[in-house]
Every structure is written in C-alpha cells, then in structure tokens.
Homo-oligomer: A and B are copies of this chain.
Amino acid sequence: MNSFGAVETGGTKIKCLIGTSPDDIYSQATFPTTNPEETLAKVIDFFRLHLDESNIDLKAIGIASFGPLDLNPASETYGFITHTPKPGWQMTNVAGYLSDALAIPAYIDTDVNGAVLGEYAWGAGKNIENLVYLTVGTGIGGGALINGLPLHGLIHPEMGHMRIQHDWINDPFAGSCPFHGDCLEGMASGTAIEKRWGRKGEDLPDNHPAWRLEVYYLAQAIVNVVLIISPQRVIIGGGVMGNTDLYEMIRTQVKELLAGYVHARQILVGIDEFISAPGLGSQSGVLGALALAINRHSKK
C-alpha cells in the first residue's frame, strides 16, 4: 500500500511520521533538533527502520521546515535551509540529503506553509483555498495558500516581521527582534512577552496587562494580512495561543480595527469561524508535510 513520510523540522525538535492521513498514521517519532548531521541521521534511521516492512511502500517524503528556505526550483540551492541564524544549519540541503539517503522524492516547504497545507487538508481550513496560518510561539511566522497553492513568490512570506503600530503609551518595551526591534515578532512573540515582563506568558495571570497588548498587536497583524492578502480564513496557532481566551479578544479587536471597512459576511457576522484555532492542534506542521508529500506525488 502506498504510504508517505512527513518531517517537521522545528527549532527545538523534529517530528517524523509515516502514514496517509491523520486517521492512518503507521508510525511516528520526535527527536531533539541538534546539529544537522546528527538530527538528519535520526530521521533517516526512523524511515529506514520501516522501509523493508511489507505493508509500507514509501512513495515520497514531505518536509515542513524552519527557514528561510530556497524554494526556487531553478536554483542550485533549491530545498536548502539558507541564511538561518540557527547555528550549524546555514546552507543545509535538507530535501536533497533525505531524498538521496532514502532514494525517494522529497518535497519541502516552510513550517508555516506546511501548517496551512495540513489545516487545508484535514483541519480548520478544509476546502478554503485562500487561507492563512499564523503561528505565535517563540517566534512568529505565517504561511498562506492562494487558490489552493502555497504562497512562495520571491522567497516565501516572513509575516512575523511586519511593522505594526507600537502602543508607546502602555508599552515602553523597545522590542525583542534582533533585526527590527519592535516588528510584530519583536512585540508579540513568546520571546517578547518574556523579555517585557520577566516571566513566560504561561506564568502570567489572565488579568495581566500583557494580554491586552498581545491582543492589540496580533489583531493588527491579522488586519494587515486581511487587507494585503484578503484570505477567506485565518488560523492562529502556536504556544502563546495556549491562552485560548486570546481568540475571542482578537476577534473583537480585529472587527474594531477594520471598522466595517471590509464588508464581508465572514468578518461582519462570521468572525468566530474567520479567525480559528488550528483543527490539528500542534500537529498542523507535520501533517502538512504529509499533505505536501501526497499532493506533490499525485501531481507527478
């Protein structure tokens, strides 16, 4: 039976699985992300362990990876992790290395484009062809489908670094982004919350002023995404959204900030669905890598 491999390479851990859908997962494993040689060797071992099993016919592998990635098929470094600040991982040929070692095709996209593909296939964005996934964790990233296809363009979106209005009156914090100071990630990531308040978000009480600021910055980010991409739905995931009260507060503030300007039923009366939590929880990325393998294999 045809089966597919999926790999999500994150900053701290790497997830692997073999299967065909969330309801048909044959095997899965998680390893810590260390240096590329050690980490990718574990991934290869995981897949090799199953390759000679009679009920596994691994056709392709999908990879959803932290970036930046080279996604230009005409480039010599296609499929590489390129100029990442992550030590040791600069110019790592993840897709090529796994494909060669396992002797099957490997397809790669960003972790957030993976997440949006996973949510589109099996999650909160089913059949929604213009879809955005924002993750708010240690960093902030965003992926998008346009007409059902992952958005790449020049490189790929880096939504976490957009500029938004800084609430200087309530928030003298200068921002935590080493590149841009008070860009979105510098204001609203888990890292920013911890640097601003001296405590992790999960240790802050529900009535802490941190959350009103968090909502203000994330609502602006969604407003900008809505005005620039015009998606049909926005899914927000990531560790910071573990405080699930944020969803309702963000929905309210997005409507306030748009001030009726985008006259769409989905926003005016359907905002509860328009801004959604992930349907696949923390599995959006690795299941998106699976969807990527299946989609690209079927197009061959």
Contact = CB atoms under 8 A, between A and B. Distances in A.
Interface in A70-116: 82-83
A165 interface: yes
Interface stretch (A32-40, A200-208, A225-233, A244-252): A225-233
Interface string A137-163: 000001000110101111111111111
A130 B158 contact: no
A231 B154 CA distance: 5
Contacts of A261: 158, 161, 179-180
B157 A230 contact: yes
Interface in A162-202: 162-166, 168, 179-180, 182
Nearest to A221: B163
B257 A163 contact: yes
A224 B228 contact: yes
A49 interface: no
A230 B159 CA distance: 9
A153 B226 CA distance: 9
Number of copies: 2
Given A68-B263, A257-B180, A259-B180, A152 B228 contact: no
A262 interface: yes
A180 to B, nearest CB: 6
Nearest to A130: B153
Interface of A: 68, 82-83, 130, 142, 146-147, 149, 151-166, 168, 179-180, 182, 220, 223-232, 257, 259-264, 266-267
Sorted nearest first, the 7 A-B pairs with minimum C-beta distance are A153-B230, A130-B153, A83-B263, A162-B224, A179-B259, A146-B146, A163-B220
23 contacts: A83-B263, A130-B152, A147-B147, A152-B230, A153-B229, A153-B232, A154-B232, A155-B230, A155-B264, A157-B228, A159-B227, A159-B228, A162-B223, A162-B224, A162-B228, A163-B223, A164-B164, A164-B165, A168-B168, A179-B259, A179-B260, A224-B224, A228-B229
